Structure 1
């Protein structure tokens, strides 16, 4: 199957979920675990993600590729889907922003793969920085401003430091929105999310932010 066809399948999955969700936002839910990567000299080199997709999206995504009775999918079987997903994320800057005195640009993603367990897809990929940078502070932000995708940090150890110098620690959030706000947004009419509407950037209420401070 060609990459363009896979893009179409991914879009079809998202749209089918949208039409079946009473025209509500969001349409895809992703639980985020991330690692901020450091080199031996203490410079930040990139971010490694593991994103768990909700069961509805996951089930639809694998079924458009393979009809299997045992529900088991190898990384090799899922490789085309993983590549298509990564390509579709590119135009959204992977919903990932690393900031040290401004946003830092990423090189092309590496180590991209899907695994499928407990009826859920987990997307693994690494975003290397184009140029590693040394800084005592860094901010990692994961957000979809449109809230088509609801990103939420995992409950346990959502952001880890790999190879960081001694004396570095991570602090999370807080997000401006809470569970009540999330419910209000989910109950809102889809029309209120049209481009240019008042809620076009409502996803910022549920911004996932991790700040790293090094002594």
Structure 2
């Protein structure tokens, strides 16, 4: 597969899982992105505002979810329990590590490093898969008031969009912070949708050079 030229071999597992399910649906396989995720994120801090963890809740699009859960209802009750979805959740966590969990927290050029995820599980709400996990901070001391948070896939294989209601929250800080989100420039997604797969296949490891992320900053007293 052409994409392997741009992704380290050890990082292919998670991408391979997504490709497998995406290719089952012709509509998903036509152009980037192949998978859509709606994210809600909680920035966990000490009382002084130092970031200690990032909590994510990612809701996958319904077509991807439908194919991903095929054969996972092992007890045949028509539902997908956390226990039934646990093996898939484990694969996601092991493989997302190679992508930095699509999560970046920086102060200028200084970036936080994360431990392996904890408290992770998959839910299914009857329509969509929902991945929950927490990333404890391993290295780096950044106050939430100085932080810039991004949740994005630079290759645009996976499209991340923050939820419309309570997209990003701060938990644990003794003060109230105002969340500020900067959406991509007008026309960016239209421009991306007009690119053929060949443009993505030939893109360098850092992506297309088109900024389609939604950086989040925090205004704290």
TMscore range, shorter length: 0.7 to 0.9
Name the SS of the counterpart of 2:69 in structure 1: helix
> Given the alignment of the two structures, is residue 211 of structure 1 paired with residue 211 of structure 2, yes or no?
no
Matches within 5 A, 1:146-165: 146-165=155-174
What residue number does 2:111 align with?
Answer: 103
Q: Cα deviation per residue 1:80-107 (whole Å; 9 max; x = unaligned)? A: 1111112221111111001124211011
Provide the C-alpha distance between the structure 1 equivalents of 2:126 and 2:182, rounded to a whole number of angstroms. Answer: 29
Tell me if structure 1 keeps the 8 A contact 2:22–2:28: no
C-alpha distance 184-22 of structure 1, shift in aligned 2 (>3 A): farther
What residue number does 1:65 align with?
Answer: 72
Shift of 1:175: 2.0
Q: Structure 2: which 5+ runs fail to align? A: 1-12
What residue number does 2:138 align with?
Answer: 130
> Given the alignment of the two structures, is residue 145 of structure 1 paired with residue 154 of structure 2, yes or no?
yes
Tell me if structure 2 keeps the 8 A contact 1:194–1:200: no
Provide the C-alpha distance between the structure 1 equivalents of 2:39 and 2:207, rounded to a whole number of angstroms. Answer: 22
Shift of 1:187: 3.9
Tell me if structure 1 keeps the 8 A contact 2:107–2:142: no
What residue number does 1:52 align with?
Answer: 59
Tell me if structure 2 keeps the 8 A contact 1:113–1:124: yes
Return the match for 1:121 from 94, 110, 129. Answer: 129
Provide the C-alpha distance between the structure 1 equivalents of 2:17 and 2:203, rounded to a whole number of angstroms. Answer: 27
TM-score (norm 1): 0.84
Shift of 1:167: 4.3
Shift of 1:171: 0.8
Name the SS of the counterpart of 2:203 in structure 1: coil
Shift of 1:169: 2.1
Q: Which moved more, 1:47-56 or 1:126-135?
A: 126-135
Provide the C-alpha distance between the structure 2 equivalents of 1:44 and 1:22, rounded to a whole number of angstroms. Answer: 38
Provide the C-alpha distance between the structure 2 equivalents of 1:64 and 1:113, rounded to a whole number of angstroms. Answer: 18
Provide the C-alpha distance between the structure 1 equivalents of 2:78 and 2:128, rounded to a whole number of angstroms. Answer: 11
Return the match for 1:15 from 13, 23, 26. Answer: 23
Q: Structure 1: which 5+ runs fail to align? A: 1-5
Tell me if structure 1 keeps the 8 A contact 2:73–2:79: no
Provide the C-alpha distance between the structure 2 equivalents of 1:88 and 1:185, rounded to a whole number of angstroms. Answer: 26
